[in-house]
Amino acid sequence: MSRRGAALALCAAAWACKTLAPVEMVVHPPPRLGDCPGELRSTREIEGDWTVHGRIHVSGGGVDESYQLVLQKTGPRLVLLALTPFGAKAFAVTQIGLQTWSESYLGPILPVPPENVLRDVHRAWFRAVDDPALDPRALAREPDGAVHVRAEQCGYEATLAAISANLPGRH
């Protein structure tokens, strides 16, 4: 038995020392929409100082994201802040005139480019253009005020809805 036990121990040690083939891990990045071009209306053409609280749902290309939106216009500055469903800041886009700057709070790569959300807001609420050659977004308005934005060439759809607004002259 001792020889047999020694032989088994030797075989077990030899097997344990045998190198196993490395396991290759494939990590797929999460789905992300590409940049979708479109026109913006200059903030100098958008009247008044106001705040709007809304929401957007974006789906397509493997992406299914919802954000609460806070949109504030003060003078020539328009700021769009997007919040996750849990209330965390996702991103912000600032627009002055036709120039924009964005900031991500959730990392360098977001599933929905912040500029797409700003262009969808412009298309839905500021009607930047009605020419499909200039803006690939088609609109459908619901009786309850929700706006469906279909960016077929860009592979996604978005639904925007205003929740509340603080407009000048309204109390």
The predicted-structure confidence for 124-141, as pLDDT tens digits, reads as follows 998 766 676 667 788 999
Average pLDDT (160-169) is 85
Q: What is the DSSP letter of 33?
A: P
Residues 6+ apart with CB under 8 A from 58: 33, 64, 65, 66, 67, 112, 116, 117, 120, 156, 157, 158
Q: State how far the Cα of 150 lies from the Cα of 158, in Å rounded to an integer.
A: 6
Amino acid 66: pLDDT: 97
The predicted-structure confidence for 58-84, as pLDDT tens digits, reads as follows 999 999 999 999 999 999 999 999 999
Q: State how far the Cα of 30 lies from the Cα of 26, in Å rounded to an integer.
A: 13
Secondary structure E strands in 15-153? 50-60, 63-74, 77-83, 89-96, 99-104, 138-141, 147-151
Amino acid 29: pLDDT: 75
Domain range list for the chain: 43-166
Instruction: List the structure tokens of 109.
Output: 């790569």
- What type of residue sits at position 49? D
pLDDT of 3 strictly over 70: no
Bridge partner list, 93: 80, 102
The answer to whether 139 and 149 are in contact (CB under 8 A) is yes
Q: DSSP alpha helices (H): ranges in 86-168?
A: 114-121
The phi, psi pair for 110, rounded to 5°, reads -105, 150
The predicted-structure confidence for 76-121, as pLDDT tens digits, reads as follows 999 999 999 999 999 999 999 999 999 999 988 899 999 999 999 9
